[in-house]
Amino acid sequence: MEAPETATRIVMTRILAAAACLLLAGPAPAADDDKSAHGPKGHHEHRCQMHDRMDGLAPEQMMQQFRDEFGLTGQQQTDIQIIVSDYGERLGDIAKLGRKTAEDLLATDPEDPAYREKTDDAAALAANSAAETVVLLAEMRAKLHAVLTPEQRDTLQRKIEEKKRELEQKKLERQQHEESHDRPMGQFIG
């Protein structure tokens, strides 16, 4: 098991990366069909490229990139760190509760008379946690956005538009790739 400070650092790094996605790219666009929305990697197939790029960086390195890309002042950096720290802790608590609940359910024998009740409780907790997470991330995004100046928001809007174009292009390429590999079975039979 990871040391508590390592686990906290990992959670904070992931929260900051998620904040970058929300701040810079907004939510992933809705997919037109279930196949592209839930491919082999599930919902994470559409992870923000900013998240992919920053996931391996330490929070200090991420903040450096934000500062460079947006010209953040020292006060803005401090404000962002406070926001991410506050929401990161709250989101981390939700994640810990979810992991504990899953571990408890996995440790319960399906033949146990309490298994169905535990399953229902875990499902209800998952639904509530998902709803709470959406609200917290939306609040965090609004607060992060409020830290930016009008010029920085303009830069942000340009980055969002670029990201939308990139995602649409990738979606088109993915569809073309899938279509080129969809062959009737008759082609393979003599």
Asked whether residue 51 is domain-assigned, the answer is: yes
- Residue 121 in this model has a pLDDT that exceeds 50: yes
Asked if pLDDT for residue 157 goes beyond 90, the answer is: no
Q: Is 178 within a domain?
A: no
Q: Which domain holds residue 80?
A: 4-161
pLDDT digits (tens, 9 = 90+) for 27-81: 444 444 444 333 334 443 334 444 444 445 566 777 777 788 888 898 998 898 8
Query: pTM for this structure?
Result: 0.58
For the cut 60, the answer to whether the pLDDT of residue 141 exceeds it is yes
pLDDT higher than threshold 70 for residue 126: yes
Is position 182 within any domain?
A: no
Q: 3-state secondary structure string, the chain?
A: CCCHHHHHHHHHHHHHHHHHHHHHHCCCCCCCCHHHHCECCEHHHHCCHHHHHHCCCCHHHHHHHHHHHHCCCHHHHHHHHHHHHHHHHHHHHHHHHHHHHHHHHHCCCCCCCCHHHHHHHHHHHHHHHHHHHHHHHHHHHHHHHHHCCHHHHHHHHHHHHHHHHHHHHHHHHHHHHHHHHCCCHHHCCC
Other beta carbons less than 10 A from residue 77's beta carbon: 16
In this prediction, residue 17 has a pLDDT band, given cuts at 50, 70 and 90, of low
In a domain, 100, yes or no: yes
Is 85 among the domain residues? yes
Mean pLDDT of the chain: 75
Whether residue 170 lies inside any domain: the answer is: no
The C-alpha atoms of residue 2 and residue 179 are separated, in whole angstroms, by: 44
Domain count, the chain: 1
Residue 168, domain member (yes or no): no
Phi/psi at 67 (nearest 5 deg)? -60, -45
